[in-house]
Structure 1
Amino acid sequence: MLAELFLDASRACEAHSPLTRALLVAAAEDLARGGVTARVMAGAECDRHGTVPGLRFAGALHRLVLEGRAPALARHYPTVGGEPDFATLWDDALTVLHEQADELRALVTSTVVQTNEPGRSAPLFGGLHTATHLAADEAGRRARFPVRLLEVGASGGLNLRPHRVAYRVDGEVFGDPGSPFALDPGWTGRPPVDLRHDLRLVRRAGCDLDPVDVSTEDGRLHLSSFVWADQVNRFARLQAAIDLARLDPVPVRRATGPEWLAEQLAQPERDVLTVVWHSVVWQYASPADRAMGRAILADAAARATPVAPLALLVYEPRRTHAAGAYEFRLLLKLWPAGISLRLGTGAGHGVPFTWDTAPWD
């Protein structure tokens, strides 16, 4: 039942976004009694859990607020300077739902949930430094390899420029000190390599089933609307990452991951470390696409050489021993070296992160 999916989404954000939780709980109750929310969600009654209809609903409301089209509701939204008043929040939301039901339904039905968390650039940055160091050792090189970075499920491509971010760690700045995107990665420990070396990305590319063009205002609003509106630091981080992306554009191609990856990995590149990267996309891939992706990567790994190495670097959730609990792990595989490491664990958004290198089985 759709109301149950809204309640599921409300529980997922309970610890991090009281505003979103309150909206979704009230909307679930309204759905159950056939209120205006049912009109807004018409056509979504049979949506799968993975499409997260509750967050699409919350994102649609947030987008109207960001566009200045829901002033009464905006007073509750910190992303536009408001402060939630939970006693009147749902009444103000109801006014918007009644007045703009058709517009909200169009937004809900035409969008997919995409966050494209730029905080994940921080573990990516450390992971790339580690990979280039290990690949150089394997090849007997004094200098580290430059990187060709390939991102599957890149969304708006905000994590395709990790070398262009200013990472502020314990009074030091790594990456690009002059970047418009400065990030405190919240690290405990550091990668087991010298971060003062230049990280050279000579080629970057990404694919996504629904790529977002962040050079447009529509693209900015689309990604911004899915940030929970009481997470102002996360919202500001996204805006800075979009500003950087507009200065340093990297197009994201509309394509399936296996199809695109097969094309990109068809030929090894000499004197370059090719890194396949993805973050929090594996759970959304079909079993068929997962199997095909593994086969394509295995074929490319078999053709890797010390002077044309290949790496897989992923930041994905793994279930822990605790019931229903997950942790996000940064995992690295390097070919032909046969190195397989867990580099550390962190929050879903990549910040904070704890570096703790251990074998990855």
Structure 2
Amino acid sequence: MTRDSAPISVNAVLAELFTAAADTCRDRSPLTGRLLDDAADDLRRGGVTARIMAGSERDREGTVPGLRFAGAVHRLVLEGRAQGLAKHYPTVGGSPHLPTLWQDALPALEEHADLLRQRVQATVVQTNEPGRSAPLYGGLLVAAQEAAKAAGRSVPFCVRLLEIGASGGLNLRPHHVGYRLEDRVLGDEDSLLVLDPEWTGRPPADLGHRLRVVGRAGCDLNPVDVSTEDGRLHLSSFVWADQLERWRRLRDALDLAATDPVRVDRSAGPEWLAQRLARVERDVLTVVWHSVVWQYVSPADRAMGRAVLADAAAKATPTTPLALLVFEPRRVDGPDAEYRFELLLKLWPAGISLNLGHGEGHGTPFTWDVTRWE
């Protein structure tokens, strides 16, 4: 490979990552899928997208450079910096016309190439999807009740929730959200955020018991301050612009966050978790939680986090139980070897290990289908 040909080859690899990202959202967000397909073609030609992605050509797949690009472009639209492109974006009142999307995007990309490059390099994908509170809520009910049964208690445990990769902390208030079922609303029926969880089946728990959260904390490498306009724009930019239901859900979650602030500490996770788990609370179930964040965690931090959790699990007692509750993509065996998002629960010292079910990456819809977590 010659020096002159190297950048073209690197851009070709990056273009494949853009195409892969387009494939993941094409059916659910035609706008984002088409933008990334066109940007991939532009990368291969060495067009403006190559200038925007300069410095990010060797980013690994897990950092999803295509979605960072799409988020940066969406933010331009939300800020009113791309009037010609805005007509395609429903989040600002537009209606997508895919055949002309790229030609209308080009002037904004050319004008703001430097700003877009800065944002792509400085940001990580943080959907902080509030819809994930729905499976989390059901999983917490199961955890609190199963831990109580194992301890011989008739009343479910109160919960202390510790979230790794909490972003803006939007999923740290599951007890303040309403969850609309056919005949009732679970949780807080007067909440600013009422979700339709779209459940098939029900969690294996008594839904009549109210979830009691007595503590919550979160950490993130890049925490988002959702009390600021910058933070709100940052999270909003990662919502696919033609998914208005998700957009409205996020706006409601941000409004709820304004009434119930939760601090998110800046930390990679393992040391923060060790400090939090060192403080044991009697008659409280401590739940370590993360959702769609594992792919962004370094192998070293994954190993350290597992070691911290194993140490705490070994010290758990019936009156100071510990749980791990995660909603993450897992590879499904089969000819296509696809991934699906599964809700997994472990309880110590009860020795309970359950796969509670599976759903869409944004938390809804979700199917409760309890099996052992091997």
Q: TM-score, normalised by structure 2?
A: 0.94
Q: Residue 351 of structure 2 corresponds to which residue in structure 1?
A: 338
Deviates further, 319-328 or 206-215: 319-328
Alignment of 1:16-27 (within 5 A): 16-27=28-39
Contact 1:268 1:303 in 2 (8 A): no
What is the CA RMSD across the aligned residues, in angstroms? Answer: 1.2
Q: Residue 197 of structure 1 corresponds to which residue in structure 2?
A: 209
Structure 1: runs of 5+ lacking an equivalent:
none
Q: CA deviation at 1:87?
A: 2.3
Q: CA deviation at 1:267?
A: 3.3
- Counterpart residue identity of residue 94, structure 1: L
Question: Aligned pair 1:67/2:79, yes or no?
Answer: yes
Deviates further, 164-173 or 31-40: 31-40
Alpha-carbon separation, structure 1, partners of 2:87 and 2:79: 13
Structure 2: runs of 5+ lacking an equivalent:
1-12
Q: Residue 91 of structure 1 corresponds to which residue in structure 2?
A: 103
Q: Deviations over 1:197-238 (max 9, x none)?
A: 221111000011111111111111101101111111111111
Question: Aligned pair 1:277/2:277, yes or no?
Answer: no
Contact 1:129 1:199 in 2 (8 A): yes
Percent identity reads 70
Q: CA deviation at 1:33?
A: 1.6
**Where does structure 1 differ by over 4 angstroms across 4 or more consecutive aligned residues?**
none
Query: Which of 225, 247, 262 is matched with 1:235 structurally?
Result: 247
Alpha-carbon separation, structure 1, partners of 2:373 and 2:118: 45
Question: Aligned pair 1:167/2:167, yes or no?
Answer: no
Contact 1:117 1:238 in 2 (8 A): yes
- Counterpart residue identity of residue 197, structure 1: H
- Counterpart residue identity of residue 292, structure 2: V
Contact 2:63 2:296 in 1 (8 A): no
- Counterpart residue identity of residue 345, structure 1: H
Q: Deviations over 1:135-163 (max 9, x none)?
A: 11122222221111000111111110011
Question: Aligned pair 1:315/2:327, yes or no?
Answer: yes
Question: Aligned pair 1:55/2:52, yes or no?
Answer: no
Alpha-carbon separation, structure 2, partners of 1:256 and 1:53: 20
Q: CA deviation at 1:325?
A: 0.6
Alignment of 1:183-194 (within 5 A): 183-194=195-206
Q: Deviations over 1:269-324 (max 9, x none)?
A: 11111011111122222222222111111111111111111111111111111323
Contact 1:315 1:331 in 2 (8 A): yes
Q: CA deviation at 1:21?
A: 1.3
Alpha-carbon separation, structure 1, partners of 2:37 and 2:340: 26
Q: Deviations over 1:165-219 (max 9, x none)?
A: 1100113100001100010000011112222222111100001111111111111
Q: Residue 326 of structure 1 corresponds to which residue in structure 2?
A: 339
Alpha-carbon separation, structure 1, partners of 2:367 and 2:34: 32
Q: How many residues are aligned here?
A: 361
Q: Residue 275 of structure 2 corresponds to which residue in structure 1?
A: 263
Q: Residue 371 of structure 2 corresponds to which residue in structure 1?
A: 358
Query: Which of 227, 246, 252 is matched with 2:258 structurally?
Result: 246
- Counterpart residue identity of residue 330, structure 1: L
Alpha-carbon separation, structure 1, partners of 2:164 and 2:322: 15
Q: Residue 104 of structure 1 corresponds to which residue in structure 2?
A: 116
Alpha-carbon separation, structure 1, partners of 2:139 and 2:324: 10
- Counterpart residue identity of residue 227, structure 1: V
